[in-house]
């Protein structure tokens, strides 16, 4: 029995009349939410709604417990050493910006180098461009080969004693390739013990078991909405000793210990990075989503992603005018299949498929430097998750095969 047979019933969005027959294959952008996540958010507002961390009355204490228990769930999910290493943010983009504006601006000096890869999302490019410009540091790019692989020779030639930060996606949102983060981190730490490794885990955490210690990550960012959690909540993991020596990003309520007219002392981590009223319901929803995925099993989800990618890639390969971008091995796509069709703009592909009730993404996927490297302005992307069925993937392939005909090609 497939995972979709077991768990698709948990997603009410597929049951409403407006979505009848819709094949949703834009999971790399955002996943759907199971009813248990929606219920967890609703229960918080119905039963425990109060400002966490600020009140001594019962409701606020319960809200605080909900919020901090959620932090512990997130920490265990990625195998952090303690819950204090988890900072709640709005999303992975905010998490990456937080590292850049705090640790990056504080510790990167003139002449230092920051290493990123050619396949990064803009959220893992723009913050480091900002740091390099502000600090007169150098941005160094890791290039991939024709199979979307960053070779050992490539990262060993680019990471040097001048490298202060390596920031890299664990899984590419275009290729779906899993980068050799563990090997890159080990090499970077060996070449320069002061170098820190920042991992963009937005695409990996929903689809595979992520262990920050096994990866060698000093920081790791991810978003809730890509792993069946609510929008507007994300997390940043940071090694506690790094967080403790880093200045806060935002200043305001709750992130302080004591304030005078002239100065202030900050609260202990993680609270010194969480100024203002927090997204407590989002944290609760994120924790519920994580528990849900763990009950399914990340290993099963990863295997299922591979199976669906195989169906799609083998089906698309039967059409000579369709070109899959990235590795030829379906097991190296994490359920993401990015492609082009000869003579058809990706926006037209998406619009035509939408008329057939197939929802995919088209555009540059917030990875314009990679598009420039590939020599294309944009691509189409189908991305699977465990609630997608094999029949949905076959329907997608069938519709793609007809796109050129519908555009008037013979």
Four-way CATH pick for 3-25+297-406: 3.20.20.210, 3.40.50.2300, 3.90.1150.10, 3.40.630.30: 3.90.1150.10
pLDDT tier, 223 (very low <50, low <70, confident <90, very high otherwise): very high
Q: Helices 58-77 and 280-296 meet at what angle, rounded to 10?
A: 40
Alpha-carbon gap, residue 126 to 132, rounded angstroms: 10
| pLDDT at residue 335 greater than cutoff 90 | yes
Give the model confidence (pLDDT) of 345-371 as tens digits. Answer: 999 999 999 999 999 999 999 999 999
Which residue spans within 224-279 are E strands per DSSP?
A: 234-238, 256-259, 264-266
Give the DSSP H or E segment for 284.
helix 280-296
Domain extent listing, the chain: 3-25+297-406, 38-294
Band the pLDDT of 409: cuts 50, 70, 90.
confident
List the beta bridge partners of residue 6.
Answer: none
**pLDDT for the residue numbered 258:** 87
CB proximity list for 175: less than 8 A, separation 6 or greater: 119, 144, 148, 325, 326, 327, 333, 336, 338
Residues 6+ away with beta carbon under 8 Å from 38: 12, 285
26 DSSP assignment: B
- CA–CA dist 289, 356 (Å, integer): 30
pLDDT in tens, 150-200: 999 999 999 999 999 999 999 999 999 999 999 999 999 999 999 999 999
Contact 284, 41 (CB under 8 A): yes
Which is nearest to 71 in space by CA: 276, 298, 273, 301?
Answer: 273
Domains 3-25+297-406 and 38-294 alike in fold: no
| Residue 326 scores a pLDDT above 80 | yes
Residue 282: which pLDDT band, with cuts at 50, 70 and 90? very high
From 82, 195, 366, 384, the catalytic residue: 366
Residue 400 has pLDDT above 90, yes or no: yes
pLDDT value of position 209: 98
Q: Cα–Cα distance between 91 and 351 in angstroms, integer?
A: 28
Here the tokens at position 384 are 């699977």
- Which residue carries 């769930």 as its tokens? 73
CA dist., res. 206 & res. 28, Å (int):
9
Residue 256 pLDDT level (bands cut at 50, 70, 90): confident
263 HSE (CA, 13 A, CB side): 1
| Section 324-340 average pLDDT | 98
pLDDT bucket at 143, cuts 50 / 70 / 90: very high
**Known catalytic residue at 366:** yes
Rounded percentage of the chain residues whose pLDDT exceeds 70: 100
Q: What is the mean pLDDT of the chain?
A: 97
Task: Give the whole-angstrom CA distance, residue 222 versus residue 224.
Answer: 7
Task: Determine which of 126-130, 256-260, 337-341 has the lowest per-residue pLDDT on average.
Answer: 256-260
What's the pLDDT at 56?
Answer: 87
32-81 confidence digits (pLDDT tens)? 999 999 999 999 999 999 999 877 899 999 999 999 999 999 999 999 99
Secondary structure class of 316 (helix, strand, coil): helix
Position 410 scores a pLDDT of: 72
CATH topology of domain 38-294: 3.40.640
Q: DSSP per residue over 57-71, as a string?
A: SHHHHHHHHHHHHHH
Using CA atoms in the order 280, 286, 291, 295, what is the torsion angle rounded to 10 degrees? 160
């Amino acid at each position: 029995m497939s995972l979709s047979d077991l768990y698709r019933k948990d997603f009410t969005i597929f049951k409403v009349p407006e979505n009848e027959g819709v094949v949703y294959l834009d999971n790399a952008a955002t996943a759907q939410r199971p009813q248990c996540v929606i219920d967890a958010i609703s229960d918080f507002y119905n039963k425990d709604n109060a400002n966490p961390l600020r009140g001594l009355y019962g409701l606020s204490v319960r809200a605080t417990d909900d919020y901090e228990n959620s932090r512990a769930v997130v920490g265990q999910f990625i195998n952090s050493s303690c819950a204090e290493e988890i900072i709640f943010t709005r999303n992975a983009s905010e998490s990456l910006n937080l590292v850049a504006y705090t640790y990056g601006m504080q510790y990167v000096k003139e002449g230092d180098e920051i290493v990123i890869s050619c396949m990064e999302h803009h959220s893992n490019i723009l913050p480091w461009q900002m740091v390099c410009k502000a600090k007169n540091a150098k941005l160094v790019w890791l290039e991939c080969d024709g199979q979307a692989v960053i070779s050992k020779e490539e990262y060993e030639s680019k990471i040097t004693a001048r490298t202060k930060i390596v920031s890299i996606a664990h899984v590419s949102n275009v290729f779906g390739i899993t980068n050799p983060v563990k090997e890159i981190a080990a090499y970077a730490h060996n070449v320069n013990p002061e170098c820190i490794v920042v991992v963009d885990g937005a695409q990996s955490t929903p689809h595979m078991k992520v262990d920050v210690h096994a990866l060698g990550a000093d920081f790791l960012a991810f978003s809730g909405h890509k792993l069946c959690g609510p929008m507007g909540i994300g997390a940043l993991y940071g090694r506690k000793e790094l967080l403790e020596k880093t200045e806060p990003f935002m200043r305001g309520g709750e992130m302080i210990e004591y304030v005078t007219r002239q100065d202030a002392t900050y609260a202990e981590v993680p609270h010194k990075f969480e100024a203002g009223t927090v997204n407590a319901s989002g944290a609760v929803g994120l924790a519920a989503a994580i528990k849900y995925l763990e009950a399914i099993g990340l290993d099963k989800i990863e295997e299922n992603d591979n199976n669906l990618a195989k169906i799609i890639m083998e089906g698309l390969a039967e059409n000579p005018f369709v070109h899959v971008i990235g590795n030829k091995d379906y097991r190296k796509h994490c359920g993401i299949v990015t492609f082009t069709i000869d003579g058809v703009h990706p926006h037209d592909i998406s619009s035509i498929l939408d008329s057939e009730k197939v929802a995919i993404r088209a555009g540059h996927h917030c990875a314009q430097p990679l598009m420039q490297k590939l020599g294309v302005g944009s691509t189409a992307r189908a991305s699977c998750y465990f609630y997608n069925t094999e029949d949905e993937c076959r329907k997608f392939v069938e519709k793609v095969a007809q796109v050129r005909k519908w555009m008037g090609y013979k």
